Amino acid sequence: MISGAQIVPVISGKGGVGKSTVAVNLAVALARTGAKVGLIDSDFYGPSIPTLLGGGQVIPDHEEKLIPPAKYGIKYISLGFFLQHPDDAVIWRGPMFNKALHQMFEDVSWGAVDYMIIDMPPGTGDAQLSLSQMVKLAGAVVVTTPQEVALADVRKSINMLKKVNVDVLGIVENMSGLPMPDGSVMPIFGSGGGEKTAREFGVPLLAQLPIDPAIREGGDAGTPIATGEGKIASVFNDLARKVISILDEKRRAQPELKIVN
């Protein structure tokens, strides 16, 4: 098992809100701070990390553990590397999912890792429950879009995390609006939903990401936008700093274990 890493799942209540994009760019931004970062793609039914990071090759080491590819300062693993064809469907029941998730922790040669980001499948099913029981989680980042249809599922996800005793580090609102040439923002998916939900649950709104074609273009090209400069990269860099700060504060708040002779 990975030793010493703070394990942070990136979750969403529903698909299509940009969870994997946030997970990848958060991992890259964390690495840019000098941290050692790993990324596990546990969205086994829709593994997208190989695309978002431009592929990669997994090879066994002398102990028959898997050496993960490394790019942009992060090491990463995905079921997508083991499919005969990238368009093959993964048709698994819960026990197979649990075994594969366990192997991604145990059978991969991660080395030293400060932060392990987990790209979770959407929803509140086997994956979320299995992960919370398998490893100690430092806290989760929840991704949503502003409209109510997404927020309704986010509330379910946050309530699920409470039931399994996983802290919510905060909410990332993706697709917050489309910047217009005149400087205004068109709220295509509504506005204020992420902030309202964060306030409702007493957690921080960590970031608001606008609709920007450059985010999609970077993902399709395997070059996450956080690898570069500019406004969106700055948002992800700020997100990474906030996550580090919150995790550091949580660690300082934990009582020290005193050994009595």
**Domain range annotation of the chain:** 6-143+212-253
pLDDT digits (tens, 9 = 90+) for 144-160: 998 888 888 889 999 99
Share of the chain above pLDDT 90, in %: 52
Mean pLDDT of 213-226: 94
Question: Which residue stretches of the chain are H helix?
Answer: 19-32, 49-52, 94-106, 126-134, 148-163, 193-201, 213-221, 231-253
Instruction: Say if pTM beats, i.e. exceeds, 0.85.
Output: yes
pLDDT digits (tens, 9 = 90+) for 66-95: 999 999 999 999 888 877 666 666 655 667
Indicate the burial class of 83 (C-beta count within 10 angstroms; 0-12, 13-18, 19 or more).
middle
- Give the model's pLDDT for residue 85: 66
Class of the domain covering 6-143+212-253: alpha beta
| Least confident range of 120-124, 232-236, 237-241 | 120-124
Task: Tell me the three state secondary structure of residue 14.
Answer: coil
Q: Which of 117, 148, 107 is nearest to 24 (CA)?
A: 117
Q: How far is CA 211 from the centre of its chain?
A: 19
Q: Which of 124, 127, 58 is nearest to 90 (CA)?
A: 127
**27 in Cβ contact with 37 (< 8 Å):** yes
Q: What burial letters (b/e) apply to 89-125, b meaning 16+ CB within 10 Å?
A: ebeeeeeebbebbeebbeebebeebbbbbbbbbbbbe
- Give the model's pLDDT for residue 87: 63
Please state, in angstroms and rounded to a whole number, the distance separating the CA atoms of residues 201 and 146. Answer: 16
**23 in Cβ contact with 64 (< 8 Å):** no
- Give the model's pLDDT for residue 258: 52
